[in-house]
Structure 1
Amino acid sequence: MGYSSGCHTTFHHHYHLVWAPKYRFKVLHGEVRLRVREIIRQVCAEMGVTIVHGVLSRDHVHMFVEIPPHVSVSDFVRRAKGRSSRKIQQEFEHIRKRYWGQRFWQRGYFSTTSGNITDDTILRYLDKHGHKNGFSPAP
């Protein structure tokens, strides 16, 4: 996986995201599963997010995505969860009855980044190059 570029940026922002339906109910199967997948793909296309890999389990969503710098992770997840929750409850009566409070997804999500180098490598690089460029670490 290489770098991506925009008009003024080159980036490699990969995130592993996980979120689950409320109460971890196993409702992501059949037509609901297909519709959630379709809605999340639409949100990704609108926001310029690339899906590297994704898995819809019966009780949670796993995504490995590349998010451009102008889109925050929280904005992407908020829009994906919000739109899918609203549309799923509108289209599937059995979901609407089970989640009567209009909240399909649990609050929050898990997010971690992926990269080719470790924090130690970055710190060693900054220590090595920081003094030469006139930007030294705080005492």
Structure 2
Amino acid sequence: MFADRHLTRMEAIIRDVCRDFEADLIEFNGENNHVHLLVNFPPKVAVARLVNSLKGVSSRRLRQEFPDLARHYYRANKLWSGSYFAGSVGGAPLSVVKQHIEQQNRPG
């Protein structure tokens, strides 16, 4: 359901939310139905709180700015599912993680 224009705007929204949490969005990319983020955030921030804010703010703003997304969430007034995956990459080279995110099949 996401096109490149949705993902481009979503990246800007997510950067703003990260800034509010004193976090850095290192890498962003997405496919038509999900996104991948590499975020560096301080240990004082709970990952669940950050993710809930990222999903809540992006859902609200994207639904306001792109009414065409409405056909994908008409049964529930939300854009995201309640689930997410968060993994720690403290031991992996960041270049490998960034490469994985960059190689997602972003829609045109």
Q: TM-score, normalised by structure 1?
A: 0.60
Equivalent in 107, 114, 117 of residue 89 of structure 2: 114
Q: Does 1:105 pair with 2:80?
A: yes
Structure 1 residue ranges without an equivalent (≥5): 1-26, 118-139
State how many pairs are aligned.
91
Structure 2 residue ranges without an equivalent (≥5): 93-108
Q: Quick one: distance in 2 between partners of 1:55 and 1:34?
A: 9
Q: Which has the higher helix share?
A: 2
The answer to whether the 8 Å contact 1:90/1:96 transfers is no
Which one has the largest radius of gyration?
Answer: 1
Shift of 1:98: 2.8
Q: Quick one: distance in 1 between partners of 2:6 and 2:79?
A: 12
* 3-state SS of paired residue (1:89): helix
Q: Does 1:79 pair with 2:53?
A: yes
Shift of 1:103: 1.3
Shift of 1:78: 0.3
Deviating runs (4+, > 4 A) in structure 1? none
Partner of 2:104: none
What is the one-letter code of the residue matched to 1:28? Answer: F
Q: Which has the higher strand share?
A: 1
Q: Return the structure number with greater relative CO, CA threshold 8 A, min gap 6.
A: 2
Deviations 1:26-82 (A, max 9, x none): x22132111111110110111111122222222211111111011110111100100
Shift of 1:88: 0.9
Identity %: 31
- Provide the alpha-carbon RMSD of the alignment: 1.6
What is the one-letter code of the residue matched to 1:104? Answer: L
* 3-state SS of paired residue (1:63): strand
The answer to whether the 8 Å contact 2:2/2:32 transfers is yes
